[in-house]
Structure 1
Amino acid sequence: MTGRNSGIDLLRGIAIVLVIIHHIALRIPLAQTGLVTIFPLRLVKALSRNGQSAVTIFFVISGFLITSHAIKRWGTLSQLDWQSFYRRRAARILPCLVVLVGVLSVLDLAQVPDYTINHDNQSLPRAILAAFGMHLNWYEGQTGYLPGGWDVLWSLSIEEAFYIGFPLFCLITAHFTHFRAFMFFCLALSMPLSLTALTHASEIWQSKAYLPGMSAIAMGVCSALLGHHVSISRQTRLRASIGVIGATIFCSYLIYMPFFWSTLGNGAPLALTIATAFLLIAFGWGWLADYTTRGTGWLRSFGVMSYEIYLSHMFVVFSLMALFHRSGGDMRTGWLWVVPALGFSWLLGYGIEHFLSRPADRWLRHSPKSQAIGSMTT
């Protein structure tokens, strides 16, 4: 993990763990298990319901990282090399995506339970097209949920669409940097408006539409720009305050989400994106650098492999749920299945990262054929 930011990896680890627990809790309601005799009901409910919040956190982190890395690599966003940018994004995203879609297609053709597309208005070819065409979220919004292994790709469709437009917008506005920052700022704050506009849309589209997700990504972009342009002397004075404020709102939102929604309405997710942005700025400035590494290695390792774990964890969830029901489905001890779900998800993610995504990423970035596409490979 050399050269990584431990605080950001910790945030990513928290987010992916919340996603896994959420998908277990949809099938084994944790509030109905013996876990409530160990932890407060409010905390158990918070662990169960924050899957969507976790994806929002991922969006903000994604925007922060792609912007920070672009600035470090090219100096400014105006000098961003779009060919190198697309190549690096493709090398990171496509290998796992291609393999996942291939495996899911085979399972669908074999009519394996939990992996078979059963809706009359859905088909395997259209699901494949949606997965690679950056509109699986729209496809589900129009036709209904796909099986869980496919469903996780909805957020990737939003990120990929943002990645397509990001370098082009940066180059188009190369001589209008203030206008560019203003536009990202407006998009970042547009979350309440975009959610309000979706009031009468289908339930699926309300949670998976493009604009709210891109708003969260734009918040990450803004946080990276702000963190980069604030002077070092001010960083030292500000980082503790920004970090504490961000951590307070972040934790409060995850635990008291219903209160935020009842109080702020469609502005509630905006509070989460701002809190996450504050944490990213503070961590980027080195806040708690000596403390986020203590006793958090296991959680940070989830963050390091969050992409691989996110794409593959439903294989673990479906397998364990089948074993749960075959064992009698005792709801009182149902919460115990969370531990193996996390453990096996980590192992599967490690295998994918070690044997697929890392070697493929290295080969695609540095092979002679890929280097011929553009002039920069690092």
Structure 2
Amino acid sequence: MPYRSDATPARNPGIDTLRGLSILLVVLHHLGLRLPLKASLLGDVVPARVLAALNWNGYEAVFVFFVISGFLIARHSITRWGSLARIDAAAFYVRRGARILPCLVLVVLVLSLLHLAGAADYVIAREGQSLPRAIVAAFGLHLNWYEGRTGYLPGGWDVLWSLSIEETFYLGFPLACLVVRGERLLLVLLAAFALTLPMTRAALHGNEIWQEKAYLPGMAAIACGVLAAIVSARWTARSPWFARRLVFTGALALASVLLVEGWWWSWLGNGTMLVLTGAVACILVGLDGTEGMPGARGLSWLRSFGRLSYEIYLGHMFVVFAVVAASKAIATPAEWSFLWYVPGVGLSWLLGAVVARAWSLPCERWLRRRFARSARRPAAPALAVD
């Protein structure tokens, strides 16, 4: 991974592309739940397997996000502090909070106002659920558990389940690094945790929501990303040729899971998720060893989705509900419903770009300046020379 002179990691176009693909699949999934491509004219001309891959890989895409998140945060931490054993926990929390909280606060505020206004698709009306409890669950990082107990929340709230898993992991991550300290032991523990993914999913089969949104499977995927980051940071002897082959192999495995997932599940069951996370880890390690492998031409739009992935993820349901409502308002025939995907995807990107530029990134910069501990002491004055 290339780095700037101030030790801040430069963006890797390949990783941005992978992240962009993931957020695109999430948006397509939530559109597909309401405007399925199979029911449109595309169902007559596009293979069903391709349409299924476009509409029904949202859950898998979130696990791709988990691996990428673990990789990038651990990789940046190694670069910033030299090793995970020397991680500055307070500075780590400030950076995570500055990135996560501004957008989360804004989304929860808007969702709460829409609920109070009685807006369709935003009212929390299921028995056993309430707005105050949803707010507590969102900020208390247990919205996934809350849904597992009470049922699905409206779509705008529901997307916060993955944030509960991710940020719970990162609350304990720096402390675990400081306690374990030995890198080899940390590698063993991370590998063991990553390998539990199929078992933890299988153990939770009694509750469909909780099986999908429980802490341990998602954390196992994040651990896989952290493991890949440590390996990548210490593996300096790899050749560009091998790195590219690693990317190709991982991409092939990932594509096979997304396109013929049914075959994998019939063969490996829950082990399919381990194939997916391992494939993503291979891609990331390979990309990290290619000196920022140039982004493919024509995919700059997808890379921009990757750069805005957090803002798009938290905000895209507002667009999805608006697009679906517009489709119903003009009585769009089912066979032409696929046309709404263009504004759905485009407006999701636009909303994410506006929020990032006007709110989340300025807030992030301010919070880091305001709360970051001074890691650099003022330089001592130079001695005068007679």
- Counterpart of 2:317 (choices 314, 318, 322) is 314
Larger Rg: 2
Gaps of 5+ in 2: 5-9, 378-386
1:155 counterpart residue number: 162
TM value normalised by structure 1: 0.95
* 1:269 shift after superposition: 0.6
Amino acid at match of 1:84: A
* 1:36 shift after superposition: 2.5
- The answer to whether the 8 Å contact 1:84/1:376 transfers is no
User: Distance in 1 between the 2:122 and 2:106 partners?
Assistant: 15
* 1:164 shift after superposition: 0.0
- The answer to whether the 8 Å contact 2:40/2:335 transfers is yes
User: Distance in 1 between the 2:376 and 2:343 partners?
Assistant: 43
TM value normalised by structure 2: 0.93
1:168 counterpart residue number: 175
User: Distance in 1 between the 2:357 and 2:292 partners?
Assistant: 29
Structure-2 change in CA distance of 1:47 and 1:64 (3 Å): same
* 1:241 shift after superposition: 2.2
User: Distance in 2 between the 1:51 and 1:298 partners?
Assistant: 20
User: Distance in 1 between the 2:361 and 2:208 partners?
Assistant: 37
User: Distance in 1 between the 2:102 and 2:241 partners?
Assistant: 43
* 1:173 shift after superposition: 1.1
User: Distance in 2 between the 1:91 and 1:197 partners?
Assistant: 35
Across the aligned residues of Structure 1 and Structure 2, the Cα RMSD in angstroms comes to 1.4
2:274 counterpart residue number: 270
5 Å-filtered alignment, 1:1-378, equals: 3-174=10-181, 176-200=182-206, 202-232=207-237, 234-286=238-290, 289-290=293-294, 292-367=295-370, 370-371=371-372, 373=373, 375=375
User: Distance in 1 between the 2:259 and 2:62 partners?
Assistant: 16
Q: Deviations over 1:200-254 (max 9, x none)?
A: 2x1100100000000100010011111111123x233421221121011011111
Amino acid at match of 2:205: T
SS of the aligned residue for 1:119 comes to: coil
* 1:177 shift after superposition: 2.2
* 1:179 shift after superposition: 1.3
Moved more, 69-78 or 39-48: 39-48
Amino acid at match of 1:87: V
- The answer to whether the 8 Å contact 1:239/1:287 transfers is no
SS of the aligned residue for 2:189 comes to: helix
* 1:165 shift after superposition: 0.5
- The answer to whether the 8 Å contact 1:84/1:374 transfers is no
User: Distance in 2 between the 1:328 and 1:69 partners?
Assistant: 49
Q: Deviations over 1:141-200 (max 9, x none)?
A: 0000000000000000000100100000001112x2211111111111111111111122
SS of the aligned residue for 2:270 comes to: helix
* 1:338 shift after superposition: 0.7
- The answer to whether the 8 Å contact 1:83/1:374 transfers is no
Structure-2 change in CA distance of 1:300 and 1:262 (3 Å): same
Q: Deviations over 1:297-316 (max 9, x none)?
A: 10000000000000000000
Q: Deviations over 1:245-282 (max 9, x none)?
A: 10110111111111111111010010000000000011
- The answer to whether the 8 Å contact 2:71/2:225 transfers is yes
* 1:376 shift after superposition: 6.3
Q: Percent identity?
A: 50
Count the aligned residue pairs: 369
Amino acid at match of 1:184: L
User: Distance in 2 between the 1:288 and 1:31 partners?
Assistant: 38
Structure-2 change in CA distance of 1:327 and 1:11 (3 Å): same
Amino acid at match of 1:19: V
Amino acid at match of 2:231: L
- The answer to whether the 8 Å contact 2:13/2:292 transfers is no
Amino acid at match of 1:225: I
